[in-house]
Amino acid sequence: MSSTQNLFTIQFWGVRGSIACPGPETVRYGGNTPCIEMRVGGKRLIFDGGTGLRVLGQSMLSQMPVEAYMFFTHSHWDHIQGVPFFIPAFIKGNCFHIYGAPAPNGATIEKRLTDQMLHPNFPVPIRVMQADLKFNDLELGETVEIEDITVENALLNHPGEAVGYRVNWRGYSAAYITDTEHFADSLDTNVLRLARNADVMIYDATYTDEEYHSQGSSKVGWGHSTWQEAVKVAIAANVKKLVIFHHDPLHNDDFLDHVGEQASGQFPNTFMAREGQTIQLVGTPAQNLATVQETKVTV
């Protein structure tokens, strides 16, 4: 068995929420919108197709043919805009299993990704993609099995709905929980269930509590959470490593450094998601060791 078949790694290709924001102020954390790759026991899982998916696609070109399982949280722009620029999807011989829950209006993930590429908003229709695209509609609470990997989902509190995911493999687990807004009076039981005892929890911490409750520019009802709430969930769910994710486009590198310092003060095993970085789950699951490896994105 090759070494990759024994590994569980999580790589961040896009960590920014709402809209891509490249520029001198976001060099260190990155400006691409959500895309996370998990390599689990030799299988490739991709979560969301924000602009980070374009960069992931470039890195895959040297590995053709590829097969991947793509899970979408929802279809707000920041989570799907990389799809039309995902080059491996245009190449015959590749295979992508695409999963998403229907939107509240009944639109499937296939319809939403297709509509995104229609004239006059985009010049190339999805049918031009030559890879084998296998669309799957998820039911809320359904568990997807990919050999010995299981992927759970649960509904999140977000305008237009979103679903969070949890990946389990050989005793390891990682939860991907974005876009979601916490409740004022209690922790979200769906979030707690996805995060229970997870080795890694990636969580929507778009705002600080101060911004969220700001007089005059309150973010209540916008569908996102805060790093302070992330810490509460991480403690309540007995998470091993907390990853602060879906950074606000207005938060520059220095601001995010400060968020990281504050969050680590309350939950020491906190990690600020940064483009290009990889978390590798190592050791036996009982040892609960999740190390962060620095990797460089060269494409």
Binding residues for Zn ion, per CB under 5 A? 17, 76, 78, 179
User: Min. distance of Cβ 128 from Zn ion in angstroms?
Assistant: 27
Of 113 and 281, the one with the shorter C-beta distance to Zn ion is 113
Residue nearest Zn ion, CB atom distance: 76
Closest to Zn ion by CB, 17 vs 57, is 17
The minimum distance between CB 246 and Zn ion, in angstroms, equals: 6
Least CB distance to Zn ion at residue 136 (A): 21
Q: How far is the CB of 252 from Zn ion (least distance, A)?
A: 19
Nearer to Zn ion, 44 or 74 (CB): 74
Minimum CB–partner distance for residue 275 and Zn ion (Å): 16
Which is nearer to Zn ion, 8 or 72 (by Cβ)? 72
CB of 161 to Zn ion, least distance (A): 9
- Residue 60 or 101: the one with the smaller Cβ distance to Zn ion is 101
3-state secondary structure the chain: CCHHHHCEEEEEEECECCCCCCCHHHCCCCCCCCEEEEEECCEEEEECCCCHHHHHHHHHHHHCCCEEEEECCCCCHHHHCCHHHCHHHHCCCCEEEEEECCCCCCCCHHHHHHHHCCCCCCCCCHHHCCCEEEEEECCCCCEEEECCEEEEEEEECCCCCEEEEEEEECCEEEEEECCCCCCCCCCCHHHHHHHCCCCEEEEECCECHHHHCCCCCCCCCCCCCEHHHHHHHHHHCCCCEEEEECECCCCCHHHHHHHHHHHHHHCCCEEECCCCCEEEEECCHHHCEEEEECCCCCC
Closer to Zn ion at the Cβ: 37 or 78? 78
